[in-house]
Chains A and B, each alone.
Chain A
Amino acid sequence: METQQTSKHSDAAKQPDPMLVRPLQIHRIIKELGDTFSLILQPQDDDADFPFQPGQFNMLYVYGVGEVPISISGDPARRETLVHTTREVGTVTRAMRKLKVGDSLGVRGPYGKGWPVDKAENQDIVLLTGGIGLAPLRPMIHYLLTRREKYGRIVLLYGARTPEDILYRKDLEKWRSRFDLEMHLTVDHATGAWRGNVGVVTSLVSRSPFDPQNCIAMVCGPEIMMRFAVMELQKRGVADDRIYISMERNMKCGIGLCGHCQLGPTFVCKDGPVYCYVDIKDIFTKREM
């Protein structure tokens, strides 16, 4: 029998099938690091508009190979293209790297909850990230700099394994030359002519100039790094409801229907990937949750 509830949601039923992918053409490929590359996507027709919230992700499909969730890493103000930075770590991303300009990639999204852009207004902003974790934060940095007057101090703390592993070098140089963004870089292992910080990125928190009582911290990196980042921020006196982290889990659908990304009572695809730490502090530290 048809339930009342089913008919009530007939509007949603008129939506196109959310599992269908939209083929987009690879317009440009940027080799970022040895195993990391950015794909700039555009539609085959002229119907180009990709609104998204900084921190959201898309499901990217390589024809015949598979689909993976990848965060959007371009400037949210430039809605005519989609930018994704990917590291080659599995079957799909390996196949993705072999694609050429003019080839197509299937896209579904944008999905998930992004960084708290509104809550961050009038606050100091601490961006704490390591490795490729800078990719999901780059749209946020663009967003902040476009509306610079709405925010307090902006501090970017970024750690990479070696100086050669520093992502988005051109962007970082551009941002470093600004007087309204403070940036500290660190590497785990110094090589060559590196004269900057050496050590884990979380050690930069204690010396950074921001007001712990009036700040929003946005953290993105490996889980172990985020755990220590939270501890360092708490030591500075940042309250749990001012800390945001971006989580990663296995995803097959991206829309809360496949079950894979469950983290305790939440679905990373729709309740995350960006979480307010206060909402998941009880489950974040549990092993094999």
Chain B
Amino acid sequence: MTEITLPDKDVVVLERKNFQGLLDALSDSGYELLGPIVRDSAIVYERIHAVDELPVGWVDVCEPGKYRLVKEKKKTLFGCTIGSQSWRRFLHPPTSKLWEATRDGNGFKVIQPEPDQVKRALIGVRSCDLAALAIHDKILSQGQYIDHSYQERRRNLFVVAVNCVRPGGTCFCASMKTGPKATSGFDLALTEMYVSNRHYFIVEPGSKAGKKLVDKLPVRQPKESEIKAAQKELNKAASGMTRTIDSEHIGKLLNEKFDDPHWEAIAERCLACGNCTMVCPTCFCTNVEDSTDLTGQHAQRQRWWDSCFTVDYSYIHGGSIRTSVTSRYRQWMMHKLVYWQEQFGMSGCVGCGRCITWCPVGIDITEEARQLTVKE
């Protein structure tokens, strides 16, 4: 594994007591702040205003099919790794109205909704989720056809990344080469340090907008020892992950396993509930529903997240293509690890581990990949 280092230039230190200043500077620039908070005993991303709304002192304990929050003595702001939901809901919302139409004689007129011009600042995005964001950029805004609502929301985004100094229990970003340190796609990247009762952030600007914001903050130059300490923490996190996927070879290996009996063994446990597709930061499938009001004068097209685990997902007249749970689990996993490569030139899995944590029966994609591809 290559050594993780921080850049020599432009890196500054922001003391914990000045963290609110960072949030205020963003608010003053017109950004709506979105960050991790504790709700219903889980970390969720919501609108925030002040630093004490962050999950101060909380740490998440993640295992296959298990999630707990534990309070620690250290009053870290970003002790929890990733939220239960991913950030995609702010750019590619779970439900949205694509357009409306009104009756017009025998015909109808289509009315496009107003563009979303809200400036959003995401606070505390982990490198796995940054990789997921880059994946959605590629799929939804760089192909032949563009998802306009995604592009509108994406355009006004400010990203404050947080590097992981503690791997979550189900994480495997190091093996997917997406973390634990953010390397691109952010405006600012923070490394939270809590050593000998000193609490501060190493701040790395990643864009012009990020640099401009840093200029407004009471920051200072880092000491060499502080940089070294942060690098040490990041490398510790990278080597602390127990789960891995052989990201270089998995596509080829798995592609040959379409008819493997092990898919049946997974399907015996899989409930086809679709939780994995709801928490996955890269899933992008949607369904649409057209409807009218009671008068029939107004119609609309609504779009929402869909899941390849439903039977309806593959329905064509005469019946669904993927009726068995075996085929639906296989479609999901092969799409992430095999087909995505061919479709978009990248893996569809970023190693965040959410699908493992939030699977009600604890199916572990890394373990199933290993079972399927590693010969005893």
Please report A residues at the B interface, Cβ cutoff 8 Å: 1-3, 5-6, 8-9, 12-13, 15, 17-23, 25, 44, 61-67, 89-90, 102-104, 106, 248-250, 252-253, 255-260, 262, 264-267, 270, 286-289
On whether the beta carbons of B107 and A265 are closer than 8 Å, the reply is: no
Asked, given contacts A12-B146, A248-B316, A259-B306, whether A265 binds B290 with beta carbons under 8 Å apart, the answer is no
The distance in angstroms between the C-alpha atoms of A90 and B312, with both chains bound, is 13
Report 14 cross-chain contacts, Cβ distance below 8 Å, ordered by A residue.
A2-B157, A6-B151, A9-B146, A19-B148, A21-B99, A44-B107, A67-B301, A248-B316, A253-B288, A256-B144, A258-B287, A259-B286, A260-B285, A288-B322
- Assembled-state Cα–Cα distance A168/B147 (Å): 38
Residues of chain A within 8 A of B4, CB atoms compared: none
The answer to whether B290 touches A67 (Cβ under 8 A) is yes
Q: How far is the CA of A20 from the CA of B299 in the complex (A)?
A: 13
Contact of A257 among B154, B207, B284, B296 (CB under 8 A): B284
Please report the C-alpha to C-alpha distance between residue A286 and residue B284 in the assembled complex, in whole angstroms: 25
Chain A residues whose CB sits within 8 angstroms of the CB of B343 once the complex forms: 265-267
Taking a contact as CB atoms under 8 Å apart, the answer to whether B342 and A288 are in contact is: no
- Which residues of the other chain, A, contact B186 by a CB distance below 8 angstroms? 1
Report B151-181 CB contacts with A as 1/0, cut-off 8 Å: 1001101110000000000000000000000
Counting chain A CB atoms within 10 Å of each CB, the highest count among B138, B207, B209, B287 belongs to B287
Contact B286 A253 (CB under 8 A): yes
- Residue among A2, A44, A64, A65 making CB contact with B155, cutoff 8 Å: A2
Q: Which residues of A contact B323 (CB under 8 A)?
A: 288
Q: Whose C-beta in chain B lies nearest to the C-beta of A260?
A: B313
A50 to B237, CA, bound (A): 58
* Cα distance A9–B141 in the bound complex, in angstroms: 8
* Contact yes or no, B316 A270, CB < 8 A: no
- Give chain A residues whose Cβ lies under 8 Å from the Cβ of B146: 9, 12-13, 15, 18
Chain B residues with CB under 8 A of A66: 289-290
Please tell me if the beta carbons of B290 and A61 are within 8 angstroms of each other in the complex: yes
- Asked whether A249 lies within 8 Å of B316 as measured between CB atoms, the reply is yes
Does B206 sit at the interface, judged by CB under 8 A? Answer: yes
Interface flag for B258 (CB, 8 Å): yes
Answer whether residue B291 sits at the interface, using C-beta atoms and an 8 A cutoff. yes
Give the residue of A13, A64, A102 whose beta carbon is less than 8 angstroms from that of B106.
Answer: A102
Q: How far is the CB of A267 from chain B (nearest CB, A)?
A: 7
User: A1-B185, A248-B316, A267-B343 are known contacts. Are A262 and B144 too (CB-CB below 8 A)?
Assistant: no
| A6-B141 Cα distance, complex, nearest whole Å | 7
Q: A64-B291, A106-B108, A270-B144 are in contact. List 11 more A-B contacts (CB 8 A).
A: A1-B158, A1-B206, A12-B145, A64-B292, A103-B107, A255-B145, A257-B147, A259-B286, A265-B339, A265-B343, A289-B258
Set of chain A residues within 8 Å of B142, measured between Cβ atoms: 5-6, 8-9
Q: Please determine whether B322 and A23 come into contact, CB atoms closer than 8 angstroms.
A: no
B window 313-343: CB within 8 A of A: 313-318, 321-324, 326-327, 331, 335, 338-339, 341-343
**Residues A63 and B314 in contact, CB atoms below 8 Å apart:** no
**Interchain residue pairs A-B with the least CB separation, the first 4:** A259-B285, A288-B327, A104-B107, A64-B292
**Residue B229 lies at the interface, judged by CB distance under 8 Å to chain A:** no
Tell me the bound Cα distance from A3 to B154 in angstroms: 9
Distance of A113 from chain B, by nearest CB (Å)? 12
Of listed A9, A13, A64, A106, residue having the most chain B CB within 10 A:
A64
A-B interface pairs (CB < 8 A), number = 159
Which residue of chain B lies nearest to A63 when distances are taken between CB atoms in the complex? B108
Q: Does B22 sit at the interface, judged by CB under 8 A?
A: no
Give Cα A65 to B308, complex, Å: 23
Q: Are A257 and B306 in contact (CB under 8 A)?
A: no
Q: Smallest CB–CB gap between A36 and chain B, Å?
A: 13
In this assembly, does B110 line the interface, its C-beta being within 8 Å of a C-beta of chain A?
yes
Q: Given A9-B146, A250-B315, are A103 and B141 neighbors across the interface (CB < 8 Å)?
A: no
Interface size class of B (residues with CB under 8 A): 35 or more
Q: For the complex, what is the distance from the CA of A288 to the CA of B106, rounded to whole Å?
A: 42
- Shortest Cβ distance from B162 into chain A, in angstroms? 15
CA distance in complex: A196, B107 (Å): 45
B316 pairs with A1, CB closer than 8 A? no
Contact residues in B for A250 (Cβ distance below 8 Å)? 313-316, 321
Shortest distance in angstroms between A11's beta carbon and chain B's nearest beta carbon?
A: 10
Q: Determine the distance from Cα of A70 to Cα of B99 in the docked complex, in whole angstroms.
A: 21
State the CA gap A1–B208 with chains docked (Å).
9
Q: Is the CB of B112 within 8 A of A260?
A: no
Please indicate the chain A residues that have their CB under 8 angstroms from the CB of B291 in the complex.
Answer: 64
B369 at the binding interface (Cβ < 8 Å): no
**Which one, B158, B185, B287, B290, contacts A64 given CB within 8 A?**
B290
Knowing A23-B107, A258-B306, A260-B306, the reply to whether A67 touches B206 (Cβ < 8 A) is no
Asked whether A1 and B210 contact (CB < 8 A) given A20-B112, A289-B321, the answer is yes
Asked if B107 contacts A257 (CB within 8 A), the reply is no
Contact among A1, A8, A258 with B159 in the assembled complex (CB-CB below 8 Å): A1
Question: Smallest CB-CB separation from B138: which chain A residue?
Answer: A5
- A248: chain B residues at CB < 8 Å are 316
Interchain CB contact under 8 A, B314 and A260:
yes
A89 with B290, Cβ < 8 A, contacts A259-B306, A288-B322 known: no
- A15 cross-chain contacts in B, Cβ below 8 A: 145-146
- In the assembled complex, which residues on chain A have CB atoms less than 8 Å from the CB atom of B341? 265
B250 to chain A minimum Cβ distance, whole angstroms, is: 14
Contact A25 B107 (CB under 8 A): yes
**Chain A residues, CB < 8 A from B134:** 3
Closest chain A residue, CB of each to CB of B340: A265
Chain A contacts of B141 at CB under 8 A? Answer: 5-6, 9, 13
Knowing A63-B101, A257-B147, A288-B323, say if A6 contacts B154 (CB, 8 Å).
Answer: yes
